[in-house]
């Protein structure tokens, strides 16, 4: 994993936004996920590819049925290698007690049968974290939208 941003609230590491994770078999690179996600007491809540869920990469948003140019792109079943999502850049990073937020610009990419790739959507992912107190926090529902 190559973390892109480590988020702290109340001096405690809460989450890391990873720019890139390569699958164990080298089949695909996963971008734009949140891992690890920590409890306020430091326990890790997320995993990368647990033995019984090859497709799990912390918190991520893989779409399963995207119709693009007559072909169906499935980013959940990564072994099919039909598409991915790539980090472009951070649009904003905001922090200050008791709040942190980032917006990541990302590209959704289709893998065509002839081996070529094509960006079919430019997307903005927004993740917000609020600290209630030193024992709890809220990771707001990630929002996204085209840019």
Model confidence, pTM: 0.75
Please give the structure tokens belonging to residue 32.
Answer: 């734009």
- Neighbouring CB atoms inside 10 A of 64's CB total 10
Q: Express each pLDDT in 82-133 by its tens digit.
A: 888 888 888 888 888 778 888 888 888 898 889 899 999 998 888 888 887 7
With contact defined as beta carbons under 8 Å apart, do 17 and 35 qualify? no
Q: What distance lies between CA 132 and its chain's CA centroid?
A: 24
Cis peptide before 36 (omega within 30 of 0): yes
Specify whether the CB–CB gap between 125 and 144 falls below 8 A: yes
Q: What are phi and psi of 29, to 5 degrees?
A: -110, 130
Helix residue spans in 101-142 (DSSP H)? none
């Amino acid at each position: 994993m190559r973390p892109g941003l480590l988020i702290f609230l109340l001096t405690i590491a809460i989450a890391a936004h990873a720019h890139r994770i390569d699958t164990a078999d080298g089949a695909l690179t996963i971008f734009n996920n949140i891992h690890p996600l920590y409890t306020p007491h430091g326990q890790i809540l997320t995993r990368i590819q647990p033995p019984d869920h090859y497709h799990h990469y912390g918190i991520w948003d893989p779409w399963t049925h995207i119709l693009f140019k007559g072909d169906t792109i499935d980013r959940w079943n990564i072994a099919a290698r039909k598409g991915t999502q790539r980090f472009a850049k951070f649009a904003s990073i905001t922090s200050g007690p008791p709040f942190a937020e980032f917006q990541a610009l990302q590209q959704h990419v289709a893998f065509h049968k002839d081996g070529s790739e094509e960006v079919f959507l430019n997307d903005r992912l927004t993740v917000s974290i609020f600290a209630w107190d030193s024992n709890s926090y809220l990771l707001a529902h990630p929002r996204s939208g085209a840019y």
